[in-house]
Amino acid sequence: MLKMKFLAAVFLVCVITTVASIYLFSINKQPDTQLVEFTTPFVFGRFQIPQDNPLTVESVKLGRRLFYDPLLSKNNKVSCASCHKQSLAFTDGLALSVGVSGKSLPFNSMSLVNLMWGPKHFFWNGRSSSLEDQALQPIEHVDEMGSNLDDLTEELSEIKAYQILFEQAYGELNAASIAKALANFQRTLVSSNSRYDQFLRGEVSFSRQEEFGRKLFMAHPDTKVSLRGGNCIDCHSQFLTSGFSSVFDGFSNNGLDDDINLAEGLYGLTKLEAHRGLFKAPTLRNIAVTSPYMHDGRFKTLEEVLAHYNGGIKRSKTLSPLIIEADNLADTKAEHISLNLAPHEVLAIISFLHTLTDESFLTNKAFSDPFKTGELND
C-alpha cells in the first residue's frame, strides 16, 4: 500500500514538473535570433541601435519583405519602395511623392541612406524621433499608404510566410514588430563605397577638379586669409555629408523662402519661433541620382542648387547667419546674399558631389526587392 502511494506521489510530481516546465518554457520563449555581422567606416563615427530592437538577421529579412510589399497599402498597390526606389538611392525622382490617393504630398521623398548617423529626428520637419516611430506613419497616412494598422495586422497574420517571419524575428505579429522590422532593414542601408569613400581610404585619387571641389566643399570662406569656400560643411558634415547629429543642430533655414512663404518646418514639432522654417539638412550621399532637391523638390539639377546658394538666397527671420555671412567677396553688407563663387568653382563643387555616388549601394542585392529576385519561396 505504502509502495503504491509512494509511486503515485512520484508520478504526480513528474507530471506536474513536466507540465510546469512546458508552460514556463513556452511563455519565456524568445526567438532564437542571430545578430547581423557588419562593419562601418571609422570616419562615420558612433551609432546606436535601440536596446529593444537588436539588429538581427531575422528582423532585417522580415523588414526587407515588408518594405517591398504593396500589401501594406489600402489598395495593395503602394509599398515603401514605391517612393523609395533603390536605383535612386531610395528616392522616387518626383518633386513631391504621390501615394494611394493620387494627391501630391507636401514633401519630397527622402533618401534612405546611412540612417544610423546624422540627425536623430526623421522627416524633413523632424517630427519623428526614431526610425521605429517614423516607419508606421506613411503606412497610416491617408495620402501615402492609407492603411488601418489593426486591419493590416490581421491581413498579415493570415499569410503563412509572415507568420513564420514574425515568429522568427519577434515572436509576435503586431504594429510594434512591423515598425521594428522596417526600422532594422533601413538601418542596414549603408552607403560607404563611393569614390569619396575610396578616396578617404586612400584607394583612389581625385581628379584636379574633384579635389578642388572637395576643398571648396569643406571650407567656410574667409576673405581675410584669402580662403575661398563653398561653405557646404557648415550644414553638411565632412564625411557623412548629412546634417549634424546632436539635438537639432542638423536643421537649418537655407534661404529657400521669405517670411511670407516660409513653411513652418521644425517649428511644427518644437513650437519655438527660432525653429520656424528650419528643415533637416539631408545626406548628400548619392546626391547625383536623388533629384529633384530640397524639401519640396523645387530644384531639378545640382546646377540649380548651386545657383540658389550662389545668389538665390531669400531673407527671412530665421535664415542661418552662416549663410548670410559666407561670402567669397569681402563686402558682406550687400543686400544680395551670395557665396560669390566663380563659375569654375561651381563646376568643381558639382564634380565633387558626383564622387558621392555609390554604385555598389544602388545595385546591392541585399537591399533589393525580394519579390523580384526569386528569393521568396512562398
Partner 1 sequence: MIKPLKIIGLVSVSLLICIAIVWYNTVPKQLTVRFYPFLGNKPLVLNNAKYPNPGGEGEFTIRDFQFFISNLELTNNRNNYKEQESYHLARFDVGKAYYEITISEISVSNFQQLVFNIGIDRKANGTIVIAGDLDPNSRMAWNWQVGYKFLLLEGSLFTQEQQQPLVYHIGFNESYTRLNFPLNSNTVSNDGIIKLKVDILTLFNQAELIDMNEIPNVKFDPEDVAKIANGFKHFISIL
Per CB under 8 A, residues contacting partner 1 are: 42-46, 117-118, 218-220, 222, 224-225, 227, 233, 237-240, 242, 244-247, 249, 272-274, 321-322, 324-325, 332-333
Minimum CB distance to partner 1 smaller for 219 or for 294: 219
Smallest gap from residue 275 Cβ to partner 1 (A): 9
Compare residues 151 and 249 and give the one whose CB is closer to partner 1: 249
Alpha carbons within 13 A on the beta-carbon side of 89: 25
Name the minimum Å distance from CB 316 to partner 1. 12
**CA 235 – CA 108 distance, rounded (Å):** 19
Cell 504526480 locates to 12
**In this structure, which amino acid lies at residue 149?**
L
When the beta carbons of 38 and 42 are compared against partner 1, the nearer one is 42
Q: 213 or 292, CB closer to partner 1? A: 213
**Helix 160-169 crosses helix 149-157 at what angle (to 10 degrees)?**
100
Q: Of 119 and 297, which CB lies nearer to partner 1 in the complex structure?
A: 119
How far is 236 from 243, CA to CA, in rounded Å? 5
Pairing of strands 279-280, 251-252: antiparallel
Question: Which C-beta is closer to partner 1: that of 206 or that of 371?
Answer: 206
Question: At closest approach, how far in Å is the CB of 182 from partner 1?
Answer: 25
Rounded-to-integer distance, Cα 144 and Cα 319, Å = 31
CB count, 10 Å around CB of 29? 9
The C-alpha atoms of residue 179 and residue 132 are separated, in whole angstroms, by 5
Cα three-residue angle 344-346-349, rounded to 5 degrees: 110
Toward partner 1, which CB reaches closer, 127 or 220?
220
Return the closest-CA partner of residue 367 out of 53, 113, 180, 77. 113
Q: Please give the angle made by the CA atoms of 47, 53 and 54, to the nearest 5 degrees.
A: 65
Q: How far is the CB of 272 from partner 1 (least distance, A)?
A: 6
From 248, 200, 220, select the one nearest 322 (Cα to Cα): 220
Of 89 and 235, the one with the shorter C-beta distance to partner 1 is 235
Distance CA 373, CA 375 (A): 5
> What is the closest distance, in whole angstroms, from the C-beta atom of residue 240 to partner 1 in the complex?
5
